[in-house]
Structure 1
Amino acid sequence: MTDKELAAYIDHTLLDPVATRGEIEQLCDEAIEYRFHSVCVLPRWTSLAAEKLRGSEVVVDGVAGFPFGADSAKIKAAQTKEVIMAGADEIDMVADLPSIIEGNSRYLRRDIQAVMKVCRSFRPAVVLKVIIEASALTEKQIRFACQECEDIGVDYIKTSTGMHKSGGASVEAVQIMAESAPGCKIKAAGGIRTADDAVAMIEAGASRIGCSASVRIIEEFRQANR
């Protein structure tokens, strides 16, 4: 793998609620320089990111129901539409976590399908990634969530928000997710801070990496592969 190939896996992320305009602009500049796949920002900054990245190959990754997933399906759907209209090309939504823990398929499906309906209403369709907070779940719960996501037809299943007290991504969780939903791609996010971390997630089955340490990861990768 080259550094450019690794960079293409990365959603360059800044979801700090106190991030400023200048920090978002820097995030976008870094994404263009390093050729990351996208920048992932809070709804407050979606339009700014879209403006900064216009004309580049970097896409905008928006969020819905972030970071707890506790909003109603109706609110998540409305936020999704607003974020897409502001310039998001992809959506990372936080699934309803109690319904995963309880095995409540009906509620979980309604939650995800409300957002997916919005994403699929656009042309081209907007990529949907569903965050399941894998570190807070048992293996059985991870498999349940992944199988529901695959059955619904989402594009990606994402390990974590990176903000849950239970932790972030793990190689084991990525492997379980990839095995449980072979029809979906996997995004690993949360606590990925080194080049070795990123490569390990990709080798475990991740098709996308979400991280805020993206620049450091690429520079470290370059240094190790000189």
Structure 2
Amino acid sequence: MNVKPYLDSTYLKTASQAGLSEAANIVVVKNTIDEAILEGFKLVMIRPEYVSLAKTTILSAGSNLLIGTVIDFPEGKSNLETKIKEANEAIENGADDLDFVCNYQAFKEGETALVKQEILIGTQIGLANNKTVKWIIEVAALSDKEIIQLSALIKNVVLSNFKEENYASVFVKSSTGFYKTENDLPNGATIPAVMMMLENASPLPVKAAGGVRSYEDAVEMINLGVKRIGTSAAKTIADGENTTNHIK
């Protein structure tokens, strides 16, 4: 199986997180973009401040590579105004996919009206600009019951407010890859979590991010029904190798 069309090649570290200078970090970003173009991946997923760089690079290469970026990353607890501002700036700079971090903490605290409102408005902004929207629910921070409930909540908001033709453009996504777990527990997509998402988000598509560390893992996720995979080791996976890196 050719997994490349499913892969969102990802680099979301700041310079300080990577232990690099700003200039050196930009080199890593540029290399990630160049590799994604060369390898024919679906998309390159980068931080908002690098979207313009990606757009220029991709246009210069005559490539069809898509650009994705994250909104309210990685905690998702900013107010709706902040989320909207970040989304509009990303659209203006040339992003194709907007990966919003859902306010999962608010959801856990029972503030479902707040969460529904941000999903509605964020999705409206994306779809109105012909963008793909993904809602990151951060499965490692949720119980099984909460994974089921939040996946269903996102689905219900979309099904109640948008046309069927839009469903394929609104994803439920597992993880940021930056959540800190205790005792080295998985902080990204697991088979049980993804199965719960698939069952309860359908007909919305699901993106598995984090935890996919080999070609075999990727194929298993695709066979389950996942439509996109976020990974910081896209080439390693596509080449059929394993990686022990943390995958974003």
- Global fold match (TM > 0.5): yes
- Which ranges of structure 1 fall in alignment gaps of 5 or more residues? 222-226
| 1:86-134 Cα distance to aligned partner (Å, 9 max, x none) | 0100100000012221343201111222212221222xx1110000001
Work out whether residues 62 and 92 of structure 1, in 8 Å CA contact, stay in contact via their aligned partners in 2.
yes
Instruction: State which drifts further: 170-179 or 95-104.
Output: 95-104
Q: CA RMSD in A?
A: 1.4
Letter in 2 for 1:8: P
Shift of 1:189: 0.4
1:10-89 matches, cutoff 5 A: 10-18=7-15, 20-54=25-59, 55-89=62-96
Letter in 2 for 1:157: V
Does residue 1:159 correspond to 2:174, yes or no? Answer: yes
The aligned counterpart of 1:224 is none
Shift of 1:203: 2.0
Q: Pick the aligned partner of 1:168 from 168, 188, 200.
A: 188
Instruction: State which drifts further: 99-108 or 158-167.
Output: 99-108
Provide the C-alpha distance between the structure 2 equivalents of 1:100 and 1:196, rounded to a whole number of angstroms: 33
Provide the C-alpha distance between the structure 1 equivalents of 2:220 and 2:78, rounded to a whole number of angstroms: 33
The aligned counterpart of 2:126 is 119
The aligned counterpart of 2:164 is none
Q: Pick the aligned partner of 2:5 from 4, 8, 12.
A: 8
Provide the C-alpha distance between the structure 2 equivalents of 1:61 and 1:159, rounded to a whole number of angstroms: 16
Letter in 2 for 1:204: L
Letter in 2 for 1:194: S
The aligned counterpart of 2:221 is 201
| 1:17-69 Cα distance to aligned partner (Å, 9 max, x none) | 11622111111111111110000000110110111112311100011010110
Provide the C-alpha distance between the structure 2 equivalents of 1:128 and 1:61, rounded to a whole number of angstroms: 10
How many residue pairs get aligned? The number is: 216
Aligned residue for 2:38, secondary structure, equals helix
Work out whether residues 103 and 144 of structure 1, in 8 Å CA contact, stay in contact via their aligned partners in 2.
no
Provide the C-alpha distance between the structure 2 equivalents of 1:176 and 1:88, rounded to a whole number of angstroms: 29
Q: Pick the aligned partner of 1:186 from 193, 206, 220.
A: 206
Shift of 1:135: 1.8
Q: Pick the aligned partner of 2:133 from 106, 128, 135.
A: 128
Provide the C-alpha distance between the structure 2 equivalents of 1:104 and 1:71, rounded to a whole number of angstroms: 14
Provide the C-alpha distance between the structure 2 equivalents of 1:120 and 1:9, rounded to a whole number of angstroms: 21
Shift of 1:168: 0.8
TM-score, normalised by the number of residues in structure 2: 0.83
